[in-house]
Amino acid sequence: MTVDAMIEDLRTLVEIESPSGDLEALTVSAQAVAALVETRLGGTASLVESAAGPHVRWSGGGEPRILILGHHDTVFPIGTLARRPFAVSDGRVTGPGVFDMLGGLVQAIHGLAALEDLTGVEILVTADEETGSHESRALIEERARACGSVLVFEGAADGGGLKIGRKGCGTFEVVITGRASHAGLEPEAGINALTEAAHQVLAIVALDRPEVGTSVTPTVASAGTASNVVPASATVVVDVRVESAAEKERVEAGFAALTPRLDGAEVVVRGGIHRPPMPESAAADLFAVAERLLPGVAGVAVGGGSDGNLTAAVGVPTLDGLGAVGGGAHADHEYLLVGSMMERANLVTGLVAAIRGD
C-alpha cells in the first residue's frame, strides 16, 4: 500500500464523472468501483441494479460482521471535470468528488488490502446517497443489520475528526394553489398564491428551534407567471435539521398542520425528514476503538446527514467520517490532504482487525 497507488486509483474514479441521477454515467462509475475492489481485494464485486443506478456489493466471505459503507454518486454535473480537472499540488488533491467521497472509498479499499484475511467484511457502495438514498435505503438497512457494525467513509470533520453524531435531515415542499386573475382589472377575483405563500413561510419559520438544535429553513420559492397576473400557484422548499426523534415528530406534525389563510387557497405538503438523527450513543463503542488506534482523534457531531443516519436508526453501531481529510464538500474548492491518506487507510486496517478480535 502506497500513497502513490491510492492517488492513481483516486484519479481513475474522479475522471469518471458520476452525477446523481445520470444512469449511464453511474453505470460506468459503478463498473470502475467494482473493478478497483476486485483488483485490490480479489473476489467478485457485483452490481445491484436500481432505479437510481447501480450499487456495488462485495464480500470477503464468512459470517458478515463489518459493513464498509460509501457512495459513488457525486453532486457535480457532467462537464465539471473539464473545468476543474483532477490535480495534485502542494499536498492537496483536487477535483470533483475527491473529498465527498471518492477519496474515502479509495482509502477504505487500500486499508482493507493490507489485511491478509477479509472474512466477515462487506462493502456496499451506493448510487443515490446525494439524493436521499431512497432506492438504496432498504438494502443499506438490511446489510447493516446482517453485519452488526458499520464504518462509513464520508469525509472527515474539520481537522480530521470522526463523525459520532449527525442531525436528522429532510426536505419539505409546500405547494400552494390559488386562482389567477388580471392584477389590474380585477385583482379581487383572484386568490393570490404568493400572498398565501408568505403566510405559510411565517408559519414554517416559527417551527425553528435553534436552542435545541432544530433548524427549519425556507430555501427555494417560486410563484407567478407575469407581472400583471395574480399568481395561481406557488411553491416553497424547506430544509430541516433535527437532533432528536422528538423534534422530528414535532416538526413533521407542524408541517402537517399547515392550513390556508386565504379563503379558497389550498396548501399541500410533500416530503419529510427522511434521515432520522444519528445519536452519539450509536458511535460510542466504535469511536473508543478508533481513539485507541489514533490517539487524539476528535469525535464530532455534525449537522449534515449521511447513510450513517439510516444504519444508526435501525440500532446498528455506526462510526462515520472515516473518509478523506480535507474540505469543500459540494464546492469548487473541494480538496483532500495527501498527508492524511496513509493514516486513514491504516485506521481502516486497525478498526476491522479490532472489531473482529484479530
Dump pLDDT digits (tens) for 56-81.
999 999 999 999 999 999 999 999 99
SS3 of the chain? CCHHHHHHHHHHHHCCCCECCCHHHHHHHHHHHHHHHHHHHCCCCEEECCCCCCEEEEECCCCCCEEEEEECCECCCCCHHHHCCCEEECCEEECCCHHHHHHHHHHHHHHHHCCCCCCCEEEEEECCHHHCCCCCHHHHHHHHHHHCCEEECCCCCHHHCEEEEECEEEEEEEEEECECCECCCCHHHCECHHHHHHHHHHHHHCCCEHHHCEEEEEEEEEECCCCCECCCEEEEEEEEEECCHHHHHHHHHHHHCCCCCCCCCEEEEEEEEEECCECHHHCHHHHHHHHHHCCCCCEEEECCCCHHHHHHHCCCCEEECCCCCEECCCCCCCEEEHHHHHHHHHHHHHHHHHHHCC
Co-location of 267 and 281 in the same domain: no
Active-site option among 17, 73, 154, 247: 73
- CATH assignment of the domain containing 91: 3.40.630.10
pLDDT digits (tens, 9 = 90+) for 180-190: 999 999 999 99
Co-location of 156 and 269 in the same domain: no
% of residues, the chain, pLDDT over 70: 100
Domain extent for 262: 168-274
Number of domains in the chain: 2
pLDDT beyond 80 at 1: no
Co-location of 206 and 227 in the same domain: yes
Co-location of 56 and 189 in the same domain: no
Q: Quick check: is 358 catalytic?
A: no
Co-location of 155 and 176 in the same domain: no
pTM of the model: 0.89
Co-location of 54 and 25 in the same domain: yes
Co-location of 233 and 294 in the same domain: no
Co-location of 162 and 177 in the same domain: no
The pLDDT score that the predictor gives to residue 153 is 98
Active-site option among 17, 22, 122, 129: 129
Domain boundary among 274, 293, 324: 274
Q: Quick check: is 8 catalytic?
A: no
The pLDDT score that the predictor gives to residue 212 is 96
Co-location of 69 and 146 in the same domain: yes
pLDDT digits (tens, 9 = 90+) for 161-173: 999 999 999 999 9
- CATH assignment of the domain containing 177: 3.30.70.360
What's the rounded mean pLDDT across residues 265-288? 96
